[in-house]
Structure 1
Amino acid sequence: MLHVDIPSVATIRQLAEVQAPGCVSIYLPTGTLPSDAAQARIELKNARDEAVGILREAELERGRLGLITEALDDLIDDENFWIYQARSLAVFVDGDHLTSFRLPNELSSRVDVSDRFLLKPLLRTVTFAQTAFVLALSQNAARLVEIVPDTAAETVTVPDLPTDAASYVGKSSIKDRAPVRRLQGSEGQKVRLRQYARGVDQALRPLLTGSGIPLILATTQPLDGIYRSVNSYQGLAPRSIEGNPEDLSDQQLAEAARPILDEIYAQQVQDFNDRFATFASQGRAITDLSDIARAATAGAIDVIAFDIDAVVNGTVDEQGAIAIEDADTAENYGVVDEIVRRAVRADAGVLAVRAADLPAQTPAAALLRFTL
């Protein structure tokens, strides 16, 4: 099982609020096997050295530089931390705090030093994690399978997960007559299946809550409808894997889950583009980067979609005016990155996409709460 800790929107917003000299953002691939940890630690050491070199050139105050270096060294030397990894690691450190996230996406290595954190790659993980859980649910069995790109699917151990419907409700068969209200037949069976489904949902809560990872249901009727009626997790996919999951291996479930994951992402993109067309007719949809920067500064953005690969070096001033520059330095933090940061601070929805998914050939597109 991957050891992921995907940040919540509230956590990302907290990171977006940070603005101080010497903010270091590090992204690096870590691999999923314990044997990959040694190489990942070496890469983090190299990233530390690169960041420290940039901070020295920028003449960061020596005491603050020392605190940043010490925090990174502590993480590098933390043996327990490196035992459990996902596919990528994101580290954010200034002179006051170090925050790290183990992510299911495979992100490219990057070191960024500025007076604010680089959050754009992190937001891709929140938008489309490319990993999922499949709940294989039948009357006779329940198992949770983790789906990860380029890695074999595997069953996850879930404490207190009911093993089957009959034993969970204390019966030899869910068709037995119920001691309360003397329910029997199909009515009594549905009552017991609902109790079973509720027990499964409760067992999954500690693992799923706050993770943001999609949950895909693999089951048949009537359990499909029954489980959905008691489900408490917002990330449950609208479409299920059809057929008896007892007949499907973990890998077969993973193969069946991939198209559903693609559908979830495609629907997010389609919903944005449909709304963009509607908002455009109201004068509340924009694609010009200068306009988007001013809107983000004014807190006018409702939702922003941006090209995860777009790089526009430069700065955005306090009024939202853009200044484009040729090089990436510790003083210029990237225009798209800053626009997204300001949008996040104003509680805007954020969608990190590929260029082809945007409604126009531009680094970003935004829906406005009000016209400017």
Structure 2
Amino acid sequence: MSMINDKEFKKLSNYKNDTCVSIFIPTQRGGKEVLEEKNKKHLHSEWTQVKKELKDNNVSDDVIDKIGNPIQQLIEDRDFWRHQSDGLAIFSSPDFFENYTLPVNFEAYHYISEEFYVKPLVPAMTGDVKYNILSIQLEDVKLYEASKFSIMPVEIDELTPSRLEERVGFDYKEKALQFRTQGEGGDKTQFHGHGGSERDEKTEIKQFFRAVDQGLKEHLNKESLPLVVFCQDYLFPIYQDANTYNHLFEKVIPGNPNDTDMLGIHQKSLEVFQPYLDENRDNKINKYKELSSTENTTSALSDIIPAVYQGKVDTLFIENRAEVWGIYNEDNMKVEFSDNHENGNISLLNLAAKKTVEMGGKVYLVEHEFMPQKKSKMNALLRF
């Protein structure tokens, strides 16, 4: 499993070669589609199309083999296909190969040029809001740092007790805590066990959660990121009571963390935290609309791309799944448009997106109906 980071994005963005192939496919995490090897077949189909186009463009068999060999190895790697997320991105040239498993619902797409097509990855590089996920049960504690497009584990073994029995000093298996919910879909929980009252059991859990809270406090306060808790519903009120961290998110990720893997934890966290992640984008869209009659916004591609290169773009909105072909001459800051990808033309949206990131701006891929200025495939909010 590999997720994109800033260093790798820059490596992709700056890479040049006579033949660069970028492939994006949607993937499934599990179920019937995985058993039927749908993901594997999808990549095979996409690579077959790419190989035909390379041959039609008179690319030598030797170069095609160098590009295709690592792709073919992925296709044949059964273990690789057991650990997928929502999308797979592949970047291959005769002397370069990388693949990224991402929680992004890509549409099947491929791009052949002298550069890689990084536009679908750009939102992950635009200062996307980070947050922590605390996966907590009475017998297991894990912490992750995540964003909309990434998740990574954080080592906390030296900071917190790993299970309740370490904190309260009794054999949890011998004195198992049980619970049941009153009524279908109810939210009132009864605790009962072999060695204590309901109050004692809740007190022991709270002591454990307080120890976790105190152990993580210094680490969490370094960046003060939002903390989203993943635990069973009945435990979250107890954790809230034990918590002293000021940025605890008010909604829990409900369920048993043991029922999924790290990518599944990330997916479930997005179901709860997504509105918060979209808040910055929505604020920028509203700001564009407020300033739309001023010189601080533009929807003219011929103006946007030179502005990007001059570092004038604060935020770039690009219509998702759209494309504009052409060439940009940096010397005279002139954009030439074309109807197709032939004769050296490149994706101008890809160019603008990666350059905006390089210059420190933000980029959002936006569905057509949410574009601030729908008549254009790219809108820019300029720096004051």
TM over 0.5: yes
Q: Compared with structure 1, are the counterparts of its residues 257 and 48 closer, same or farther at alpha carbon in structure 2 (3 Å cutoff)?
A: closer
Structure 1 regions of 5+ residues with no counterpart? 147-155, 173-188, 205-211, 231-235
TM-score (norm 1): 0.68
The amino acid that maps onto 1:196 is V
Q: Which has the higher strand share?
A: 2
Report the Cα offset of residue 18 of structure 1: 1.4
2:303 alignment counterpart: 291
Q: What RMSD in Å do the two structures reach over aligned CA positions? A: 4.7
Give the conservation status (yes or no) of the 8 Å contact 1:216–1:241.
Answer: yes
Instruction: Compute the displacement of 1:58 (Å).
Output: 2.6
Within 2, Cα distance between the matches of 1:346 and 1:109? Answer: 29
- The residue that corresponds to 1:196 in the other structure is 212
> Does the residue aligned with 2:111 lie in a helix, a strand or coil?
strand
- Contact 1:133 1:144 (C-alpha < 8 Å) held by counterparts: no
Q: Is the 8 A contact 1:26 1:47 kept in 2?
A: yes
Confirm or deny: 8 A CA contact 1:17 1:345 kept in the other structure. Answer: no
SS at match of 1:26: strand
Q: How does 1:314-333 map to 2 (within 5 A)?
A: 314-319=326-331, 320-329=333-342, 331-333=344-346
Q: Is structure 2 residue 379 aligned with structure 1 residue 365?
A: yes
Task: Summarize the alignment of residues 223-302 of structure 1 with structure 2, pairs less than 5 Å apart.
Answer: 223-224=239-240, 229=245, 238-241=249-252, 260-276=272-288, 283-302=295-314
Residue aligning to 2:114: 115
Matched residue, 1:86: 85
- Partners of 1:336 and 1:104 lie apart in 2 by 22
What SS class does the counterpart of residue 229 from structure 1 fall into? coil
Asked if the contact 2:134/2:143 (under 8 Å) is kept, the reply is yes
Kept in 1, the 8 Å contact 2:140–2:163? The answer is yes
1:348 aligns with 2:345: no
Higher RCO (Cα < 8 Å, 6 or more apart): 1
Are the aligned partners of 2:103 and 2:267 in contact in 1 as well (CA < 8 Å)?
A: no
Q: Deviations over 1:186-228 (max 9, x none)?
A: xxx9997554125468999xxxxxxx99945677578448757
Query: Within 5 Å, which residues of 2 pair with 1:53-92?
Result: 53-60=52-59, 63-92=62-91
- In 2, Cα distance between the equivalents of 1:77 and 1:248? 31
AA aligned to 1:297 is: Y
Query: Hey, what does 2:194 align to over in structure 1?
Result: none
Q: 1:9 — aligned with what? A: 6
State the AA in 1 paired with 2:312.
Answer: A
Alpha-carbon distance in structure 1 between the residues aligned to 2:93 and 2:59: 11
Q: Give 1:100 shift.
A: 0.5
Give 3-state SS (helix, strand or coil) of 1:14's partner.
helix
Q: AA paired with 1:273?
A: I
Number of residues paired by the alignment?
A: 324
Instruction: Give the residue type in structure 2 aligned to 1:302.
Output: D
Normalized against structure 2, the TM-score is what?
A: 0.66
Q: Structure 2: how far apart are the matches of 1:55 and 1:331?
A: 15
Q: Does 2:25 align with 1:28?
A: yes
Query: C-alpha displacement at 1:314, in angstroms?
Result: 2.7
Q: 1:354 to 1:134 in 2, by over 3 A?
A: same
Q: Is the 8 A contact 1:64 1:95 kept in 2?
A: yes
How far did residue 17 of structure 1 move? 0.9
Q: 1:312 deviation in Å?
A: 1.9
Partner of 2:100: 101
Q: Is this contact kept in 2: 1:47–1:111, CA < 8 A?
A: yes
Instruction: Provide the identity percentage.
Output: 19
Contact 2:213–2:245 under 8 Å retained in 1? no
